[in-house]
Homo-oligomer: A and B are copies of this chain.
Amino acid sequence: MNLDLLLSNLLNPPVLFFFLGMVAVFVGSDLDVPQPLPKFFSLYLLLSIGFKGGVELNHSGIGAQILWTMGGAIFMALLVPLYAFWILRRKLDVPNAAAIAATYGSVSAVTFIAATSFLSELDIPYGGHMVAAMALMESPAIIVGVALSRLGAGAQEGEKAHFDTKELLRDAFFNGSVLVLIGSLIIGLLTGEEGKKALNPFVSDIFKGMLCLFLLDMGLVSARRLNGLKKLGTFPIGFSMALPLFNAVLGLLVANWLGLGKGDALLFCVLSASASYIAVPAAMRLAIPKANPGIYVTMALALTFPFNVLLGLPIYLSIINRFWS
């Protein structure tokens, strides 16, 4: 893999602030980004990325190619948890296997955003519709994961199932992050150039800075989670590095088959490789109480996220560079 890519990824401010956060935990600093500041940053990032995507969609229009990409995104979101579950069952019980599968079927918005800023730094263009693809990939995995746990567990929870379902669908499709993302996307789509003029300084100019603040906190949070690793054992640890890689490759195959450009291909690949640590855990906590969040959150947050942001991006892009003409 290309070393320049690795460096140009590691040496941009957001990633370095992520490091700073991790360092703060390792040296035992009292540095802290208290709630609700992280919620503010993620709200801002979702709103901005969604709005900008909508505006670009307003320019590009929605063609067949874009619809195919959406289809491919949903396909990945449904497929990944299935084989992830199948693998995980070798070592873990049904609830945990299902919860982890859902986590990896869904996506991490920040990983996606890190990828976009990585691309814009290398002046590689990408389409606003990829944001829509991300939004579409958040929810399905939740449904699949819960379905898997139900099937696996048999009907013992049957009686509560109905109520759950209603709750579940809501958590899956109307949870905060999905709603802000899609809502902002639609608003961008509706207001187009007009809206962009009004909001650009907010959603674009200060974007990188807000991303730095958020990644600083991500560094703190994921480094704190690392302490939970010992309890995990080697399988989950290996899994949380290997699966993203596998998902990424699969994602690239699909992207290539869909004929996506370099930029869109990287984003598609990153969406497949990333794991959710916000929307999905909250849903799993309620839907699969028997699953231990100490496992699925730690894997997604302390291992997969840093792996994707630090090593994944350059690796995936160098693969693309090799196989895309």
- A interface with B by C-beta (< 8 Å): 11-13, 16-17, 20, 23-24, 27-37, 39-40, 43-44, 47, 51, 121, 170-171, 174-176, 179-180, 183-184, 186-187, 190-191, 194-195, 198-199, 201-203, 205-206, 208-210, 212-213, 216, 282
Q: In the complex, which of the residues B30, B34, B39, B195 contacts A175, with contact meaning CB atoms closer than 8 Å?
A: B30
Count of this chain's copies in the oligomeric assembly: 3
Additional 14 contacts, C-beta under 8 A, given A28-B170, A47-B212: A13-B195, A13-B198, A20-B179, A20-B187, A24-B179, A24-B183, A27-B174, A35-B36, A40-B40, A44-B213, A202-B206, A202-B209, A202-B212, A206-B206
Q: In the complex, which of the residues B51, B176, B187, B205 contacts A205, with contact meaning CB atoms closer than 8 Å?
A: B205
Q: Are A27 and B170 in contact (CB under 8 A)?
A: yes
- Which 6 residue pairs across A and B have the least CB separation, nearest first? A202-B209, A201-B205, A31-B176, A20-B183, A29-B174, A34-B36
Q: Are A29 and B170 in contact (CB under 8 A)?
A: yes
Instruction: Tell me the complex Cα distance, A143–B43, Å.
Output: 39
Give chain B residues whose Cβ lies under 8 Å from the Cβ of A35.
Answer: 34, 36
Q: Are A31 and B180 in contact (CB under 8 A)?
A: yes
Q: Are A187 and B13 in contact (CB under 8 A)?
A: yes
Instruction: Tell me the complex Cα distance, A206–B198, Å.
Output: 9
Give chain B residues whose Cβ lies under 8 Å from the Cβ of A34.
Answer: 35-36, 39
Q: Chain B's nearest CB lies how many Å from the CB of A199?
A: 5
Give chain B residues whose Cβ lies under 8 Å from the Cβ of A206.
Answer: 201-202, 205-206
- The interface centre, meaning the residue of A29, A39, A174 with most chain B CB atoms within 10 A of its CB, is A29
Q: In the complex, which of the residues B32, B39, B171, B209 contacts A176, with contact meaning CB atoms closer than 8 Å?
A: B32
Q: Chain B's nearest CB lies how many Å from the CB of A181?
A: 11
